[in-house]
Chains A and B, each alone.
Chain A
Amino acid sequence: MTDPSADPVGSVPAQAGPPDRENTVPAGHATVATHRRPREPRHRWRRWRRTRPFWGALFVILGAVEILVSMKVPLPIILHIGLQGLAGFIIPFVLLLSGIFLLFQPQHRMFYSIIAMVLALTTWITSNLGGFIIGMLLALIGASLAFAWSPRPVPATAPTDEAKTPELTDTRVDEPEHTAHRAGTAGT
């Protein structure tokens, strides 16, 4: 992962923010002027991961799958219980969908992550105590990760060295994100 030689290609100006605790790749090289799209598959994969709440979505999907596996019961028996029995399947299934949508529609991550939180909590009642608590915890961690994920703010001008100042922390960083997010939602 920490391959500094890859950075001039893989980095984008927005990476010049505070040091990233999620990814171990050094976030420097902001002064590199070439911002070409990464071509190598590995870089493209890494870029794809970083432009969406990847780990959050992955945890939500894993949690939902674990709950569904714990629920594998012949459908006729479930249908005997009735609508409530069916809910035991539907809720982890929709949880799985919300995880998938977190990957492919990251601009709607607030909506999907809150849906995932509510559904994960609901599986405690409907689906074997949330897949014996494991799946529920995975999905809750994932939903919180996705909820807390946000794109780096767009710099007003071309990135310069002062954008690197790590002391400009969350409060300031969050503000442009909200507006950007609203604009992004309205645009779609």
Chain B
Amino acid sequence: MSTSEAGVQSTREGRVRWRRFAASMIGTGALSAALVALTAEGVLAVQFAISGIPFTVTADRLDGTGFAQWAELDHMAEGSPNEGDTGGQVVVIVSAIDQAELTNLCQSINMGGINMKITAGDTGTPVTARTLVVDSDDIAGNADFKNIEIGRDASTLDKVPGQRGLIGIFGQQADEVVITDLRQNNYATTAAAFTLPHLRMRFSSDGC
């Protein structure tokens, strides 16, 4: 090499060896396919944390053990395109479920015109979720509670470990909950461990 670039190895120009790239893509592609397959088998649990994007969740049936619900003010990121006329704040219902089983789950996330649609749990094995916390502004369905306490202060809720609201806010909780024909319009969801048997992800123009 000429004197000006001699010595420092990293100053040499380079290129991509496409054969090596292809081998690497095949390797990582196979591993990703294995991950997707294990998730779709319901063997591998995945973790969700979505916020700020409105999305819809529907399920034929939700069986929850340990249920708590309270109201909260949800703030959007400043200048969020989803702000609309809400001034960036929405009153949301926070539902927390310690252990949940959902049959025939459909989740669609609106990503600016196109919907990312996820379906799972429609072949006999339900979707399971641990520490599922959902912020929704609209929940519909037929609910059936066991040992419900309505009007308990949100800060004293204890059915879902670690999940409670602020002091002085209306809250309710129950040992068990069964919701059929569930439909939620959510702003945020977190779940520590979500198994999604028979997972399918696709982009579609219509939601759930």
What chain B residues lie within 8 Å of A106 (beta carbons)?
10
Cβ of A74 within 8 Å of any chain B Cβ, yes or no, is yes
The answer to whether B21 touches A74, judged by C-beta atoms less than 8 angstroms apart, is: no
Distance, CA A22 to CA B21, complexed state (A): 12
Instruction: Using A35-B4, A124-B39, A132-B116 as known contacts, say yes or no to A14 and B13 having CB atoms under 8 A apart.
Output: yes
Kindly identify, within residues 5 to 45 of chain A, every residue whose CB is under 8 Å from any CB belonging to chain B: 12-15, 17, 20-23, 35-37
Given contacts A121-B35, A125-B35, A136-B32, is CB(A73)–CB(B49) below 8 Å?
A: yes
B13 touches A150 (CB 8 A): no
Interface size bucket, B side? 35 or more
Given A23-B15, A140-B32, A174-B17, verify A13-B10 contact (CB < 8 Å): no
Within 8 A of B (CB), among A32-72: 35-37, 47, 50-53, 55-56, 70-72
Q: Does A22 contact B28, Cβ atoms closer than 8 Å?
A: no
Asked if B85 is an interface residue, CB under 8 A from chain A, the answer is no
Cβ of A143 < 8 Å from any Cβ of B?
A: yes
What are the 8 A-B residue pairs with the smallest beta carbon separation, nearest first?
A: A148-B21, A35-B2, A151-B14, A151-B12, A144-B24, A184-B9, A148-B20, A73-B51
Q: A interface vs B, CB < 8 Å?
A: 12-15, 17, 20-23, 35-37, 47, 50-53, 55-56, 70-74, 77-78, 80-82, 84-85, 87-88, 105-107, 117, 120-121, 124-129, 132-133, 136-137, 140-141, 143-145, 147-152, 154-155, 170, 173-174, 180-181, 183-184, 187
B57 within 8 Å of A by Cβ? Answer: no
Bound Cα distance from A187 to B9, whole angstroms: 10
Q: What's the minimum C-beta distance from B179 to chain A, rounded to whole angstroms?
A: 22
Q: How far is the CA of A20 from the CA of B24 in the complex (A)?
A: 20
A78 to B192 CA separation, bound complex (whole angstroms):
9
CA distance A124 to B116 in the complex (A): 16
Q: Closest B-chain residue to A128, C-beta based? A: B48
User: In terms of DSSP, what is the predominant structure of the interface of chain A?
Assistant: helix
Near A by CB (< 8 A), chain B positions 5-44 give 5, 9-21, 24-25, 28-29, 31-32, 35-36, 39, 44
Q: Please name the residue on chain B nearest to A129 by beta carbon.
A: B46
Q: Please name all residues of chain A whose beta carbon is closer than 8 Å to the beta carbon of B105 when the two chains form the complex.
A: none
Q: Do A128 and B50 touch (CB < 8 A)?
A: yes
A121 and B2 within 8 A (CB): no
Q: Are B12 and A154 in contact (CB under 8 A)?
A: yes
- Let me know if A51 and B24 touch, CB within 8 A: no
CA distance in complex: A81, B133 (Å): 9
Bound complex: CA A81 to CA B25 (Å): 33
Q: Please report the C-alpha to C-alpha distance between residue A35 and residue B6 in the assembled complex, in whole angstroms.
A: 11
A35: B residues at CB distance < 8 A: 1-2, 4-5
Decide: A14 and B1 in contact? CB cutoff 8 A.
yes
Q: How far is the CA of A12 from the CA of B5 in the complex (A)?
A: 9
CA distance A143 to B52 in the complex (A): 29
Q: Are B21 and A152 in contact (CB under 8 A)?
A: no
Complex CA–CA separation, A120 to B29 (angstroms): 11
5 further interface pairs, Cβ-Cβ under 8 Å (given A23-B15, A72-B51, A133-B201): A37-B4, A73-B190, A74-B188, A140-B32, A152-B14
